[in-house]
Amino acid sequence: MKAREEAIKTYVDSYNNFNTLKMTENLADDIVFINKQNGQVTMTLNGINEFKNQAETAKQYFSQREQKILSFRHEGHITQIEIDYHGVLAQDFPNGLKKGQEIKLKGKSTFEFKDGKVIKLTDES
């Protein structure tokens, strides 16, 4: 459990610091990433290259971003964290969100591990 928590903390800290290389060091090559908003799947990525490309693209969206871990819950080979999220937009978006606007969300991330690597990551907000 401790090793999984450390891997997740490294992921979150690296995300907060816009460090894609460090963020992906504990992800499996065949990682599956799913993003859900309000219960609807908004993105699915397959493989480390798709994940890295999306992570690099997403860095442009925010001038600041922070995930804060509120709790860990372990069950079998899965660890779920609850998070508070805060971000400041770096650009205007077609949906009406504006540069400089703050985003605050609560969410959870579920990390599925195999052989010490994350094989599936699901973000929900």
Domain boundaries, the chain: 2-124
Per-residue confidence (pLDDT) for residue 89, from 0 to 100: 97
From CA 16, how far away is CA 8, in angstroms rounded? 12
Is domain 2-124 classified as CATH 3.10.450.50?
yes
Which amino acid is located at 26 in the chain? N
Report the run of H or E that residue 121 belongs to, with start and end.
Answer: strand 117-124
| pLDDT grade for 1, boundaries at 50, 70 and 90 | confident
From CA 118, how far away is CA 5, in angstroms rounded? 12
From CA 15, how far away is CA 121, in angstroms rounded? 14
Q: Give the pLDDT confidence of 76-109 residue by residue, as tens digits.
A: 999 999 999 999 999 999 999 999 999 999 999 9
Q: How many residues can be counted in the chain?
A: 125
